[in-house]
Amino acid sequence: MNAVEVSGLRKSYDGVEAVRGIDFELRSGEVFGLLGPNGAGKTTTVEILVGYRRRDAGEVRVLGADPERAARTWRGRIGVVPQSGELFPNLSVLEHLELFAGYYETPRPAREVLALVGLEEKAGAKSRTLSGGQRRRLDLGVALVGDPELLFLDEPTTGFDPSARRAAWDTIRALRSLGKTILLTTHYIEE
């Protein structure tokens, strides 16, 4: 079964084509990457797939639904790690996860998510004190706390040092072993 189906997807901004008729399919349980330089339309594509942005043309199905018309329950089946997330500076790591867990009917336990993203030792730390890599891991934790079937990771390792990048890939492999379907964007060819 396909988790994502895209056919003839197009999007323009002020006459400039950001997405030019792309086609792809993502099977359930697969890790799929959109590779391209900055400005190639990767983030625009993800925004269309999660229903944040309207497409100009083409057909899109995500978990069997058109994101532009998907029911509220559909949103609980996806998790999104945007290119740059905004955290609440005075909330702790655990408080972030508990807050976002409250938006879902059957969330993954916050402490379990802490372990999954490797932030157990930072549970009580305010988000403003986290390093860049720790903030990205918290972004991932926020996306995972709803226990989504399908996870969108937009440039998940941008700004990471080589060690942090390897740890991020270990986490992605762990998510795949949990049966998650993952679509990620990157401009790093080695990824």
Confidence of residue 165 (pLDDT cuts 50, 70, 90): confident
CB atoms within 10 A of CB 163: 9
Burial of 48 (0-12, 13-18, 19+ CB in 10 A): buried
**Shortest CA distance to 1 belongs to which of 34, 24, 25, 32?**
25
Calculate mean pLDDT across residues 97-107: 92
Is the predicted pLDDT of residue 73 greater than 80, yes or no? yes
Position 85 pLDDT exceeds 90: no
Confidence check: pLDDT of 133 > 90:
no
Give residue-wise pLDDT tens across range 45-66. 999 999 999 999 999 999 999 9
pLDDT at 130: 92
**Rounded to whole angstroms, how far apart are CA atoms 13 and 84?**
21
Residue 171 is predicted with a pLDDT of: 80
Q: Residue 160's closest CA among 189, 135, 124, 185?
A: 135
pLDDT higher than threshold 80 for residue 160: no
Which residues does 171 contact at the CB level (< 8 Å), separation at least 6?
A: 116, 117, 118, 137, 140
